Structure 1
């Protein structure tokens, strides 16, 4: 299953349009996060890429992540509802909806503007160097999963 290419402006603009359909009161179809927490949760992948706020896994943990998690995250199979969330991605505190929405849209826009060639064989936080297709899958699949969670 080939996913839409988040690096194409039409696809990233569509994702942003879906994000803009959300309201602070939008309720999830499943899961425990509210909409502002979900937006913050989706920002974590980009924080790992662009910010220096999440420690990188140590050598052993990176081997375990590559062996047991990488295919689930970068492969085409959709995420299961209510699946386990990595600790760095857990958002338990209250978040500002408008600020988190803006942050996520800014990250998506920045990533699209950098383009797929920028990401080809770029080192990920947890999985080593990834192809542009694996980066696309990781970005798009996660966003789509949570936008479906909130009905957009």
Structure 2
């Protein structure tokens, strides 16, 4: 069974890994610094928490991507690109690392406590269920923590 950000235990495991992050860690892949990664995740995850319910159906292409992501792959591809609004390379000074890390912890801690359904649309996968969003966010966080070796 896939891990989910909706589980307090899974969030706690991610937070233990997060404690090992520091602004000087170099990425194993990609162009972001650790601070830029935190800003990226904070923007994306805040957006997910606030996203409105989707009223669109998934396209055939989205259904195929969704099937592969949730049934075949177990993690994000290393150089996957997100929407431009969440691209932060070159836009986050290392001086803001501790502030962004604190936000990161705060935002992740919200997921197991939410009392509404996450049912927004994802740009690649189309509409996702609450459970799919939980798996997606966990994999997103895991992907970026592995990116920095934690």
TM bucket normalised to smaller? 0.7 to 0.9
In structure 2, relative to structure 1, the CA distance for the partners of 1:143 and 1:36 (3 Å cut) is same
* Count of paired positions: 143
TM-score of the superposition, structure 2-length normalised? 0.77
- 2:139 maps to 141
In structure 2, relative to structure 1, the CA distance for the partners of 1:149 and 1:72 (3 Å cut) is farther
Find the aligned partners of 2:60 and 2:43 in 1 and give their Cα distance.
20
- 2:101 maps to 101
- Output one character per residue of 1:40-70: Cα deviation in whole Å (capped at 9) or x when no partner: 1112322213357xxxx9x79x758835654
Alignment of 1:90 onto 2:90:
no
TM-score of the superposition, structure 1-length normalised? 0.76
Q: Which runs of 5+ in 2 are unaligned?
A: none
Where has structure 1 moved over 6 Å in runs of 4 or more? none
Q: Which runs of 5+ in 1 are unaligned?
A: none
- Cα RMSD (Å) of the superposition? 3.0
Find the aligned partners of 2:61 and 2:104 in 1 and give their Cα distance.
25
